[in-house]
Amino acid sequence: MTTVRVLSLIFVSLVLLPAADVGAEDADAYRVELGKMTYRTYCALCHGMAPDTGLFADALKKPAPDLTQIAKRNGGMFPEERVKAIIRDGGVSGHGTMRLLSWERYFRQDTPPEHADEVIDNVTYYLQKHQAP
């Protein structure tokens, strides 16, 4: 192997590969931040940014679930597809006959329609990353 090839391999392994990891970490952090912004806008009024802190929580017939406990309530596994379906289609009753809204409709109004699924994915990802141990 020539010296140039050896130096090229060393360069790639020492410089570019760690940079690729940082890029993945940055993308992960960005996705979590997008999910957090959406959560803060649409979900925190009932669920709060921390357990039992939602401004509308007292008005609910049943307490809004602690969304940091989803995995714990499901045997330690985060049910990603089920969470997405609840966000997209609506969920259980919280105030009288009122159910969790079907947020997909609102996401389609506030973002280009083709991005509604991405918004739901990001909120779900944020929730998954913030599960209590």
CA distance 86 to 45: 17
The model carries a pTM of 0.72
Reported as a single tens digit per residue, the pLDDT across 13-63 is: 444 445 455 577 888 899 999 999 999 998 998 899 987 788 888 888 788
98 strand-pairing partners: 95
* Residue 64 DSSP class: P
Domains of the chain, first to last: 26-129 (1.10.760.10)
In angstroms, rounded to a whole number, what is the distance separating the alpha carbons of residues 32 and 69? 18
Q: At what angle do helices 80-89 and 103-110 cross, to 10 degrees?
A: 80
